Amino acid sequence: MTAISTQDYQLTFYPNYVIAEAFEGAVVNNASVAENLKVVFNHFNGKPFALISYRKNNYSVDIDVYTVRLMKKVRALAVVSSDPMIKERAMFEQLAFDHSFAFFEDLEEARGWAESIFP
């Protein structure tokens, strides 16, 4: 496991997935997503991976982030939260994402999902 902090995220890397936890009050927009995805793609160096968005903090997500060029290269995305409002928002986000998308209330379930997608 490797952890990297950026301006907006704590990124925790595992062999086949990354857990991205935005900091409290962050504004997740196209620029921040592009910057953080560069870090993620560089880490995996062409190897397939799943991205787990662990949404335990309060922050805003601009729906336009799904138009970022690097976001289109992400093959699997999970959103983790026990907040019903975040789940509702994630259902809307799922419509903007073209690949495997899942929602979990528990981080361990999301980790198991990620490990099963890219063993």
Q: Where are the domains of the chain?
A: 2-102
pLDDT in tens, 32-56: 999 999 999 999 998 999 999 999 9
User: With a threshold of 0.85, does the pTM exceed it?
Assistant: yes
**What does the block give as tokens for 81?**
């939260």
pLDDT tens-digit map of 77-118? 999 999 999 888 888 888 889 899 999 999 999 999 999 998
pLDDT band at residue 68 under the 50/70/90 scheme: confident
Question: First and final CA of the chain: distance in angstroms?
Answer: 16
pLDDT of the residue at 2: 95
Torsion sign across C-alpha atoms 85, 56, 111, 93: positive
How far apart, in whole angstroms, are the C-alpha atoms of residue 86 and residue 19?
Answer: 17
Dihedral (C-alpha) 40, 45, 47, 48: value to the nearest 10 degrees?
30
In single-letter form, the type of residue at position 67 comes to T
Q: Report the CATH architecture of 2-102.
A: 2-Layer Sandwich (3.30)
